[in-house]
Amino acid sequence: MSKETKIPQATTKRLPLYYRFLQNFANEGKQRVSSQELSEAMKIDSATIRRDFSYFGALGKKGYGYDVQHLLQFFRETLDQDEATNVALIGVGNLGNAFLKYNFQKNHNTRIVVAFDSKAPLEGTEISDIPVFHPDRLEEMYEKYNAELAILTVSARSAQAMADRLAQMNAKGILNFTPIRLNIPETMKLMNIDLSVELQALIYLIRN
């Protein structure tokens, strides 16, 4: 992929989905797939799929569709599925707890390896087999466990302070579940998921 091409965030968010559905097609023994078939399986319109794929160069042939193994290999490399990612979870409240228990079981290469919570003792404890430390040891343990990015599930009032510490440590990214719009350096990547906002947006769609 050309370094010049700016991939829209909406496209970025669909890449893991494409990968998952191509895996399904491959498991079913399919050798090629049309954008129409992908569209029906994924509930994404086929024009969107073709536009998304076009950002990565012409991957399909007209009248033939896409070669499943070729596409799968392409997305595996693009998504670095062969490389493990260690994740730190910051804030073990209700949502954080759900993450620890779930721990992305289906993503074999992505794991929460360490967690932090202000109620945890300095020497650490374990929840669902994952070590949980007091945030006073964030810098030390984030490095020790080779975490690359953090899931932020702390309270709104701690969110920016935690983001500042992560930025100081050159953490690469934050998956932010707090309602705070974080100030972070441009070198850090950020994804915001605000569950209240998603719910309100759905209500808006229903009413309008």
Q: d(Cα 111, Cα 105) in Å, to the nearest integer?
A: 8
167-206 binders of its own copies (CB under 8 A): 172-173, 175, 179, 181-183, 189-191, 193-206
- Which CB, 87 or 138, lies closer to its own copies? 87
Q: Please, what sign has the CA dihedral across residues 166, 175, 190, 54?
A: positive
Amino acid at 13: K
Q: d(Cα 20, Cα 138) in Å, to the nearest integer?
A: 33
Q: d(Cα 12, Cα 14) in Å, to the nearest integer?
A: 5
Letters for 114-153 (x = contact with its own copies by CB under 8 A, - = none) are ----------------------------------xx-x--
51 and 113 in contact (C-beta within 8 Å)?
no
Residue list, annotated binding site for NAD(+): 91-96
Please report, as ranges, the residues that interact with its own copies according to CB under 8 A: 1, 7, 9-10, 12-13, 15-17, 19-20, 41-43, 78-80, 83, 85, 87, 93-95, 97-99, 101-102, 104, 106-107, 110, 148-149, 151, 172-173, 175, 179, 181-183, 189-191, 193-208
